[in-house]
Chain A
Amino acid sequence: MTGASTHNLRVENLSIAYGTGERALHAVRDVSFSIAKGEAYGLIGESGSGKTSVAYALLKYLRGGTIRTGAIDIAGNDILAMSPSALRDFRGNRAAMVYQDPMSSLNPSIVVGEQIAEALRRHRGLDERAAWQRSVELLALVHLPAPDALAKRYPHQLSGGQQQRVVIALAIACEPDLLILDEPTTGLDVTTQAVVLDLIQELRHRVRSSILFISHNLGVVAQTCDRIGVLYAGELVEEGLCATVVSQPSHPYTAGLLRSMPRAADRAFELKPIPGSLPDLTRPPPGCIFAKRCEVAGAECTERRPGARRLSDTHVTRCFFPERVPELRDAGDKTVAPAVAAVAGPGAQPVLEMDALSLSFRQHVGLPFFGTVRETRALDDVSLSVPRGRTLAVVGESGSGKSTLARTVVGLLAAERGVVRFEGTALASQAAQRELDLRRRIQMIFQNPDGALNPQLRVGDIVARPLRLYGRAKAAEIPARVVELLEKVRLGARYASRFPHELSGGEKQRVNIARVLAADPEIIVCDEPTSALDISVQASVLNQLRELQAAAGLTYLFISHDLAVVRYISDTVAVMYLGRVVETGPTETIFHGPHHPYTESLLAALPEIDKPRRPVAAVPPLPDWGGKGCLFAPRCPRRIDGLCERVAPPLADTGDGRLMACHVPLSGLAAAQAAIPATEPA
């Protein structure tokens, strides 16, 4: 191999398969790319794209998979030809990896300092003391507080963000030529993600490693990398500079991905999902891998596999008709109803009210009969309401209490104080104590489409259950009603006889929606209904929900951690932090600003493809904060010292149609937030 001087990584014609013979799954096919020294390359793909297989293949670590063809060269080393012992010397030394789930990537019974030090002893030949010393330095390098003490802690004593920083410190310990980041921020909260991304940016300039950044999130990659490769069903379909690929995609799949990404900055942006689903990779089609789902495909697309077509020095696409892509990019989905359904005028009677709900979780720690009780406030005096036919989105990070709120509304959890009202009547706190018809009128869609379906029941029986339970159809009519419901969510009658495991993630969530519709509800509580789905599938589920709302006047309580999704789907928003509502009002007002400081930090942290992310404001920590006052005060960049940490701000009317809990007046927030670049493009 040549070019070892300019490139740290070269992958040529890599093909990976799982299993053998007829049933072999050809997960990755003919993938070639290279990364220059000091360059960050983003590899983006949805589930089933093979991106993780590529990452592990680079370290020759494929459990159950085999590299069929191809060559991998890292800084002049032919990886595939290495002996096991040479490979051991190489891994963690010249090439290292940061994993998706930091908690499970660290050994729970070894202190974190030792987990780094052992790599240094192994590869750098340092003695015990020097290795420990160096690992403390590395922990300091990734900005972990009090690294001396932290090195002696066990992983479970650190937060998720801290754990990931430890893993990063471990990965850069030996200053590798290639640093592989496999979904390093997936599963982290958006503000934590921002901190980790900032750290990666900073380290890029310090360590002269090449970076391979693997992600499903275009926004994250666009902000971190120089170049981007788009992987679809095991093939690299497009590659180019980040800015080029995002603004001028030249493969229909890339364009489709961009069309299905909701944007927090732009509400008018209509999502357009990619039709169809992944091809069967045990028998990849002979033509273009994307042809079946492509809206601009021609006859030759299904016959012949398009070769890599070079559009410029850096921009390559595997498409016969890149010139047709722009029309695809600009076409909005006109079939979707407008977001704001004109159902209820202002001042309409709310159909759902949450009145001063409070709930704490008491977790028993230790042995039965002994141990202590740990109490967490999940809901603290939460009052919200939703008018008929509208969508209230509740947004917040993990621990904000948003899911608890959803569960309290449907009666899965009982509030300790406060009451949920439906059309003005108070509901019993437990679902079991509510009248059958009231239960029917409030339904819930769950986060995990897979877990919400009983694997032992057929789709038809699952959808039929509410019809039977609530007596919505005579026995003889049930099969016909089931088919009707399945068609309503764009699944055919043939799905009725299938089991859940035979369906894709998107199809499962459609079955969940069909089951909810079978009850003929008035309110649907959606608890993160799309967070387990791929972007392109998420778009179709969101559009489906909007269509149903427009058609049947449904009321949604929509729980989400994703501000972009919230902006797309909601009429009003409530932002929650540690069990309290910090801000609530019309979606446009909330997104336009001025923002509550917490909302501000959420928006600032949000990685979007077309705006630079603002660095997260570092706040000096409060020395002795007793947990009184504003809960956000310790992290707040707009904190008024001496006030915020002592007095909790009430949720007060700001005069522009919303309620906000902040001591800083709206004008003060506006001034402070105007000082930094605006979130929205003019």
Chain B
Amino acid sequence: MVTFVVRRLAFMMLILVSVSFLTFLIVNVLPGDVANTILGDFATPDQVEALRQRLGLNQPVLYRYVEWAAGMVHGDFGISLKTNQPIGPTLWGRLKNSLILASLGLAVAIPIGIGLGVVAAVYKGSFLDRAITTTVVIIFALPEYVIGLALILIFSIRWNLLPASSLVLPGQSVFSNPLTLVLPIAVVALGMLAYFCQVTRASMIATLNSGYVRTAVLKGLHKRSVVVKHALRNAMIPTLAEIGLSFGYSLGGLVVIETVFSYPGIGQFLVQAIQNRDIPALQAAVIVVAAAYSIGNLIADVGSLALNPKLRV
């Protein structure tokens, strides 16, 4: 188990190095000069050259990559072009906010999503199953901002129950007004629970049709015991892996959700970096998101490992 985690960690590091290199390549090697991108189409050649000097663009790509990567390892994410401040501190604060949003969303979505999935699978083909499945497909097919705007329309504008924006003053905690968190968390949770429900239902149906569930039924066990002890436990193995994969999806979704609610998270940071053509900030944010995604995957893998005796050798 320990060796598995260690190996899995090493593999993750490998992926992260590749990811950072790829990010760097996309930004630096793809046609279109970064300096041009930053300055726009109307810059004079002198201005471009000056910026190239400042960004060190005249040095070889590999050298720049190593320098940049080495900086990141030491926590130096570079200097923002927009604010001329180090990117690191802001980025960490934003990441923390996003993680708060994502984990609270997960905390809501996991029990509800899995619960609905189990119910739908156990009563497969019934009206209840159809109602759950259809709702879930619809939620899943809606973009986050549509759900977000719908909730704002209902809860903020129509009933005036909850704030439509999660804007906080710089330096203030997102918890300073917990009510502002409710709608963004709801949107995050809805998207994820729709997904968890689908995955759980599919793997539950597979396990409910398995030979060992038949054995359990013909052993005379109570239905509860058959479903929970024999079916659900095994169904959770693929489900957990899928949940890990969906983590990245929800991180992508955060970009939109945070924009809708003006929530000060990493997604909003990313969008602002793009709007400001702040390439160093953009690079840093992308790496952090990819890292968060990989860690999410790792956690899910270890979780499904803990459930699966076959892999515990």
Contacts and interface: CB of A to CB of B under 8 A. Distances in A.
Interface of A: 59, 61, 87-93, 96-97, 99, 101, 104-110, 115, 118-119, 122-123, 154, 156, 167, 170, 366-371
Contact of B211 (A90, A101, A170): A101
Given A104-B210, A105-B212, A108-B310, A369 B218 contact: no
Main secondary structure of the interface of B (DSSP, over half): helix
Contacts of B218: 59, 61, 91-92, 96-97
Contacts of B7: 366-367, 370-371
A368 B14 CA distance: 12
A156 B310 contact: yes
B219 A170 contact: yes
B220 A91 contact: yes
B11 A367 contact: yes
B211 A154 contact: no
A89 B214 contact: no
Nearest to A101: B211
B23 to A, nearest CB: 22
B212 A156 contact: no
B219 A118 contact: yes
A616 to B, nearest CB: 27
Contact of A105 (B10, B211, B221): B211
A26 B117 CA distance: 35
A603 B243 CA distance: 53
Interface residues of B, number: 28
Interface string B1-39: 000100110110010000000000000000000000000
A118 B212 CA distance: 14
15 contacts: A91-B217, A91-B218, A101-B211, A106-B212, A107-B216, A107-B234, A109-B234, A109-B237, A110-B230, A118-B219, A118-B225, A154-B309, A154-B310, A366-B4, A369-B11
Contact of B219 (A87, A119, A369): A119
A307 B310 CA distance: 54
A88 B220 contact: yes
A87 B229 CA distance: 20
A90 B220 contact: yes
A256 B219 CA distance: 38
Contacts of A118: 219, 221, 225, 229
B212 A88 contact: no
A119 B222 CA distance: 11
Interface in B260-282: none
A123 B220 contact: yes
Top 4 A-B pairs, shortest CB-CB distance:
A104-B211, A92-B219, A92-B220, A91-B220
A111 B266 CA distance: 45
A156 B312 CA distance: 11
A108 B10 contact: no
Given A61-B214, A104-B211, A109 B309 contact: yes
Given A109-B237, A119-B220, 7 more contacts: A61-B214, A61-B217, A91-B218, A107-B216, A108-B234, A119-B221, A370-B11
B47 interface: no
A371 B214 CA distance: 35
Nearest to A87: B220
Contact of B8 (A93, A97, A367): A367
A371 B237 CA distance: 21
Given A108-B309, A156-B309, A88 B11 contact: no
A107 B220 contact: no
Contacts of B130: none
Interface string B202-226: 0000000011101111111110010
Contacts of A101: 211
B233 interface: yes
Given A88-B222, A367-B8, A107 B212 contact: yes
Contacts of B308: 108-109
B182 interface: no
A91 B215 contact: no
Contacts of B186: none
A393 B229 CA distance: 48
B108 interface: no
A89 B219 CA distance: 9
Contacts of A368: 11
B307 interface: yes
A173 to B, nearest CB: 9
Contacts of A108: 212, 234, 308-310
Contacts of A119: 219-221
Contacts of B222: 88, 122
A616 B128 CA distance: 56
A105 B215 contact: yes
Interface in B265-313: 307-310
A286 to B, nearest CB: 36
A59 B310 CA distance: 31
Nearest to A61: B218
Nearest to A114: B229
B211 to A, nearest CB: 4
Contacts of B11: 367-370
Most chain B Cβ neighbours within 10 Å, of A87, A156, A370 = A370
Nearest to A119: B219
A59 B214 CA distance: 11
- Please indicate which of the listed interface residues A89, A105, A115, A156 has the most CB atoms of chain B within 10 Å of its own CB: A105
B220 A89 contact: yes
Contacts of B214: 61, 99, 105
B111 to A, nearest CB: 21
A167 B309 CA distance: 19
Contacts of A104: 210-212
A97 B230 CA distance: 18
B3 to A, nearest CB: 9
Contacts of B307: 109
Contacts of B219: 91-92, 96, 118-119, 122, 170
A541 B204 CA distance: 42
Interface in B122-152: none
B266 to A, nearest CB: 29
Contacts of B8: 367
Interface string B143-167: 0000000000000000000000000
Contacts of A123: 220
A164 to B, nearest CB: 13
A178 to B, nearest CB: 12
Nearest to B311: A366
A99 B211 CA distance: 9
A620 to B, nearest CB: 29
Nearest to B209: A63
A119 B221 CA distance: 7
Contacts of B229: 110, 118
A347 to B, nearest CB: 53
A170 B215 CA distance: 10
A586 B117 CA distance: 62
B220 to A, nearest CB: 4
Contact of A107 (B10, B14, B230, B237): B230
Nearest to B215: A105
A360 B285 CA distance: 48
Contacts of A87: 220
Nearest to A154: B309
A373 to B, nearest CB: 14
B55 to A, nearest CB: 35
Contacts of A97: 218
Contact of A122 (B212, B221, B234, B310): B221
A156 B309 CA distance: 9
Contacts of A371: 7
Contacts of B234: 107-109
Contacts of B210: 104
B240 to A, nearest CB: 13
Contacts of B217: 61, 91
A271 B10 CA distance: 62
A320 B96 CA distance: 85
A171 B211 CA distance: 15
A108 B229 CA distance: 12
A167 B233 CA distance: 20
